[in-house]
With several copies, the nearest count.
Chain A
């Protein structure tokens, strides 16, 4: 009854590795059956973080797919320790099991007539945008990635994006290049020189506003991946709603089901 590409699985995967990428982020690599790796960039999994002495997460934790590789049977997450659940996740050793539910939600859309794509990512946003970059590369798109971070050492996945042939621009707080003004100038420049067909970003209110303005100004489409507290992750509990602009006024949509990727202009600041 359910189309194959909407099928969701509860699966026990095995940890291949789980190691720090830098001071803040860790990369978790799981061995996963091919059936659960039929993913779209921007989708996420709902992870049952392990129970440890003093760390007893109850609900699952949503995590964007950083990489899915059906050929080698691998599923990857890039995460930051934020609290109990992610701290417990960080204790997972190779060989241990991890129960995952997914793939979940609606991913990014790359329309055939879009050629020049711009990614604007910071922190965990990179995790969400990485598979999009790979997909864009596979489909022969021209990709520019503006990677933002606190400082140059905190920049992540640069090599990954570079290997995909992306044009990379790094901005950081410590170099004072990550401010809105500079970003606007940068993007205006990109639009003027090569043209941009679509924006892709994640999470931040600040970046959302900037891209909404630029998108409206130049009539450029865009998509944003959003976060919200989740319980079920499947669309059942209605806890993960956010407000969106719609022709009929403000509506609630579920981040886990209608999202986590939404149209840039529909999204509302918070």
Chain B
């Protein structure tokens, strides 16, 4: 018998496969038994009600996509009154993704969602901090440390910090998040990108720019997950461009303890359950009994010592 379960801080997940925030909702239950997933991660919510960005909110780029949804949110009350009760029917742990424009707003929301039925809070610190020139909290170690400390003080639930690839200081930011009290890191969110329609000369997204996700992001996000796994002691949850079981293995080997699947679900809504089945078959075929046989098994040897902290391409 193979055991697919993984440990993320105090939380035991039945398998390492879960959806990425914003690419999953109750609606996926129309297609598959979401109770088979390792965890259930909500779209990021904000404290108040928000409409989100102008359309078009998505566009396709070579083998991947851009989005600029803009966190439309029904607010915290809807979450507590409707979303949490809905997920009571499932035993896969509910992870709520939250975000705020200021540290205080963020911390208040963190407290407000710390209700029974919520297993962990994923803090989307890849969103702009309007108190500090609009850069995302997770772009700098200092603002990361700051916001994580306040969030830590606001809840006793496990805190997962979701990092951004839009930084040159991945390792430092990861350490700051750990120091600030994160129980795990989710690595990573989308990469800021742009596309222009040559005919109309207009940006393809209503909001001018948006986030790159899908296969193009994978080598970048994998590099970050690897850097983070080397930099911190808390678990890393890999995210970015995963669409096959091989992609999952790449992240696990690089040091991630679990992974999130995002855009791939748009292409194949049943991708996650297929991956879970394939992962189990892989374990059997290669005689692995538990996930820790795979996690962090990268053969980086000498190379790792010299270039782990390299944050620039040659």
Contact = CB atoms under 8 A, between A and B. Distances in A.
Direct interface between A and B, CB < 8 A: yes
Interface of A: 1-2, 6-10, 48, 56-60, 84, 99, 101, 228-242, 252, 257
B56 A237 contact: no
Interface string B64-76: 1101010010000
* Nearest 8 pairs of A and B residues by beta carbon: A235-B27, A239-B57, A239-B58, A236-B25, A8-B30, A232-B266, A231-B58, A231-B266
Contact of B30 (A48, A84, A234): A234
Interface in B265-289: 265-270
Contacts of A235: 25, 27
B303 interface: no
B24 interface: yes
Contacts of B52: 238, 241, 252
Contacts of B23: 232, 236-237
A252 B69 contact: no
Contact of A237 (B58, B64, B89): B58
B67 A58 contact: no
Contact of A252 (B27, B30, B51): B51
Contacts of A236: 23-25, 27-28, 43, 265-266
Given A229-B58, A238-B52, A10 B268 contact: yes
Interface of B: 22-25, 27-31, 43, 51-52, 55-65, 67, 69, 72, 89, 214, 263, 265-270
B31 A9 contact: yes
A237 B266 contact: yes
B72 A59 contact: no
A9 B32 CA distance: 9
A252 B89 CA distance: 28
Nearest to B25: A236
Contacts of B57: 229, 238-241
A48 B43 contact: no
A168 to B, nearest CB: 35
Contacts of A48: 267-268
A2 B34 CA distance: 11
A60 B267 contact: yes
Contacts of A60: 266-267
A58 B265 contact: no
A56 B24 contact: no
B56 A229 contact: yes
Contacts of A229: 55-59
B64 A58 contact: yes
A219 to B, nearest CB: 32
B55 A58 contact: no
B91 to A, nearest CB: 13
A174 B267 CA distance: 41
A241 B55 contact: yes
A101 B29 CA distance: 14
Given A10-B270, A231-B58, A239 B265 contact: no
B103 to A, nearest CB: 26
6 contacts: A8-B30, A56-B62, A58-B65, A237-B69, A238-B43, A240-B57
Given A10-B269, A58-B60, A229-B58, A237 B22 contact: yes
B120 to A, nearest CB: 20
Given A237-B266, A238-B57, A241-B52, A6 B30 contact: yes
Given A59-B60, A59-B266, A229-B59, A238 B31 contact: no
A107 B65 CA distance: 28
A2 B30 contact: yes
Contacts of A240: 57
A267 to B, nearest CB: 15
Given A10-B269, A58-B64, A237-B67, 7 more contacts: A1-B29, A10-B270, A231-B58, A234-B27, A237-B266, A239-B56, A252-B72
A226 to B, nearest CB: 12
A59 B31 contact: no
B54 to A, nearest CB: 10
Contacts of B60: 57-59, 84
Given A229-B56, A231-B65, A238 B29 contact: no
B31 A231 contact: no
Nearest to B57: A239
Nearest to B204: A229
Nearest to B70: A238
B28 A234 contact: yes
Given A9-B31, A231-B266, A232-B265, A56 B63 contact: yes
Contacts of A228: 55
Contacts of B266: 59-60, 231-233, 236-237
Contacts of B72: 238, 241, 252
